[in-house]
Amino acid sequence: MTKPTSHGGAQRVADALLEEIERGTLTAGDQIPTIAVLAEKYGVNKNTASKAVVNLKELGILSGLAGGNTWVRVPPQHKKRSNERYHAEKEAVLLPEPDRSRAGVSEVDSGIPLTALHEDKAEYMVMEAPDDVREALRLPASASVLRRVYTRRHAKRAGVDRSISYIPYGLISGNPDLLDASKEPWPGGTMHQLHTIGVELDKIVDHVTASMPTSDEVRDFDIPPRVPVIRIRKISYSTEGLPVEMMDIPIPADRIELIYTTKLERWNAAD
């Protein structure tokens, strides 16, 4: 066995792994050797091999939590999210079902059709509204909401996309289809679902903040170290001025571009 070395050893191990990835010997989703095996293979101590792996994780090249398996990171799908999407969603509401099925703006964001996703799951649950949800939706104490969790993954071992929606249960309880997760994906999305009970949306307000991810988000979304999460809290209002849906959309900052277009009123040419 070659004697362990330390000076420049981590970079040497990292460069060797990068070369294997560039050659295609290791491809996205492939598990890499353990720290012990890497140390043995490249003649370094385990701390040096571990440092090489940590460095590549920080660069977003490898994935995996400390103490577990490590693999070549599956590149996340970069998205462009424009507020003009809401106009397209509303226009699609009145289209025939086949046309609504082809009008999904979330697919436009990523360029991936639903049929090509590795995972596409919707989970529904009726529950008492958490305090922040109750406040946002102006609900009385102990009111119930339909909680919908949407999870998508574009490829095996890729990080997930996840959003959580809350709708007042009393608003939609008269239409059993709106409580049935098996109806997903719903052609026309939430705006059309609300249209089935006579609700037209008048405005949508996005509250955008940022924070560091939770440990669960790091694992599920496959977030490299020190990457924050953009958090969009989307509240939809009816033409009566009532909030009818709240959705939380956390998006790691390394894979999103937010585009906001503000149309300004033109000055009267005669002024």
The 10s digit of each residue's pLDDT in 242-259 is 999 999 999 999 999 999
Count CA atoms within 13 Å of residue 12 on its CB side: 14
The answer to whether 35 touches 67, Cβ cutoff 8 Å, is no
By CB atoms closer than 10 A (0-12, 13-18, 19+), residue 184 is middle
- Mean pLDDT calculated for residue range 89-117: 77
pLDDT value at 148 more than 70: yes
pLDDT band at 270 (very low <50, low <70, confident <90, very high): low
pLDDT (tens digit per residue) in 155-176: 999 999 999 999 999 999 999 9
pLDDT band at 70 (very low <50, low <70, confident <90, very high): very high
pLDDT band at 269 (very low <50, low <70, confident <90, very high): low
pLDDT value at 79 more than 50: yes
By CB atoms closer than 10 A (0-12, 13-18, 19+), residue 199 is buried
Same topology, domains 9-72 and 79-259? Answer is: no
Q: Which CATH number fits domain 9-72: 1.10.540.10, 1.10.10.10, 2.160.20.10, 3.30.70.20?
A: 1.10.10.10
Report pLDDT for 99.
83
Ramachandran area for residue 146 (φ above 0: left; ψ -120 to 50: alpha; else beta):
beta
pLDDT value at 6 more than 70: no
The Cα 164–Cα 184 span in angstroms is 14
Report pLDDT for 168.
98
- Mean pLDDT calculated for residue range 76-103: 88
pLDDT value at 107 more than 70: no
Query: Which residues touch 252 (CB under 8 Å, ≥6 apart)?
Result: 76, 159, 213, 217, 221, 223, 227, 228, 229, 230
- Mean pLDDT calculated for residue range 47-64: 94
The Cα 16–Cα 10 span in angstroms is 10
pLDDT value at 113 more than 80: no
CATH class of 79-259: alpha beta
Domain boundaries, the chain: 9-72, 79-259
Report pLDDT for 3.
40
Most confident of 81-85, 108-112, 202-206, 262-266: 202-206
pLDDT band at 228 (very low <50, low <70, confident <90, very high): very high
pLDDT value at 221 more than 80: yes
**Ranges 19-23, 65-69, 167-171: which has the least confidence:** 65-69
